[in-house]
Amino acid sequence: MIEVDAQTMREIAPTFSGANGQRQNAIITAVGEVLAKTLQAYAIDNRLRIAHFLAQTCHESAGFRTTEEFASGQAYEGRRDLGNVHPGDGVRYKGRGLLQLTGRANYADMGKKLDIKLEDHPELAAEPVLSLTIACEFWKKNGINAACDADDIVRVTRRINGGTNGLDDRRALTSRAKTAIARLEGLVLSGVAPPTGGRPVLRRGSKGDAVGELQRRLQALGFMVAVDNDFGAGTEVAVAAFQKQHGLKPVDGIVGSGTWTALDASGGGT
């Protein structure tokens, strides 16, 4: 299993600030915790399948910053092909999720597959972790893995979008995803396995509770870092100093499994 996680998603997605950045961080953090296991369960389990999946979901969710369509959904009103046969169905069953589940009929069908009352509670489809499962179900239903294995981004896009809208962005994101996954595979091939047990590889730009844990451990060991859940230059310098102090190589300011193990052995509290 390729241990893709929140950090992998951050390496692929564009960077946002303010409210957009906060929303993106919330979605990535939630999805990242279950990403590898969920993809494995749906046989999205090799470099190309994972890269295409992450790139396409990143594009469809506007850079992992929303799980709900920005438009009102009014444009879907009366769309019988989507099962929108009652007044208000367009808005009620607007696009939600990492791959934009849309229309009463599709909500009902997905709800039956997952044994969740999505037709009665369509807002549930926007919940990040559930939206990942829904995206995987869509992926499976439409046989997208085969197009991924051929590395055919046009065919993958048509299966998702029905056309080739945003193809240039999808292509760029797929390239970024391949690079991020290659880094993970490189760690494994070099004998440095990505951390397990909910501990991702952390580097400058990482955000979230795992960064806060790291910062607290560094503080307890006497390093002057702020605990702000944001891996900035100060945290990077402290990590590099810790690595040098403990004879770790490379001294790169990146927290992988070796650095986590050394932190555990050092006695720094959490």
Distance of CA 199 to the CA centre of its chain: 15
Q: How confident is the model at residue 203 (pLDDT cuts 50, 70, 90)?
A: confident
Question: Which residues 6+ apart lie within 8 Å of 120 measured at CB?
Answer: none
Looking at residue 182, its pLDDT comes to 81
Where are the CATH 1.10.101.10 domain residues in the chain?
Answer: 209-266
209-266 CATH pick, 3.10.620.30, 1.10.101.10, 1.20.1090.10, 3.30.470.20: 1.10.101.10
Helix (H/G/I), strand (E/B), else coil: 171: helix
pLDDT tens readout for residues 39-96: 999 999 999 999 999 999 999 999 999 999 999 999 999 999 999 999 999 999 999 9
CATH topology of domain 74-126: Endochitinase; domain 2 (3.30.20)
Where are the CATH 3.30.20 domain residues in the chain?
Answer: 74-126
Looking at residue 166, its pLDDT comes to 95
Question: Which residues 6+ apart lie within 8 Å of 11 measured at CB?
Answer: 176, 179, 180, 183
Helix (H/G/I), strand (E/B), else coil: 101: strand
Whole-prediction pTM value?
0.70
Lowest mean pLDDT among 20-24, 38-42, 63-67, 266-270: 266-270
pLDDT tens readout for residues 137-177: 999 999 999 999 999 999 999 999 999 999 999 999 999 99
Q: How confident is the model at residue 269 (pLDDT cuts 50, 70, 90)?
A: low
Q: Which helix (H) or strand (E) holds 244?
A: helix 233-245
Angle at 68 between CA 62 and CA 73, to 5 degrees: 115
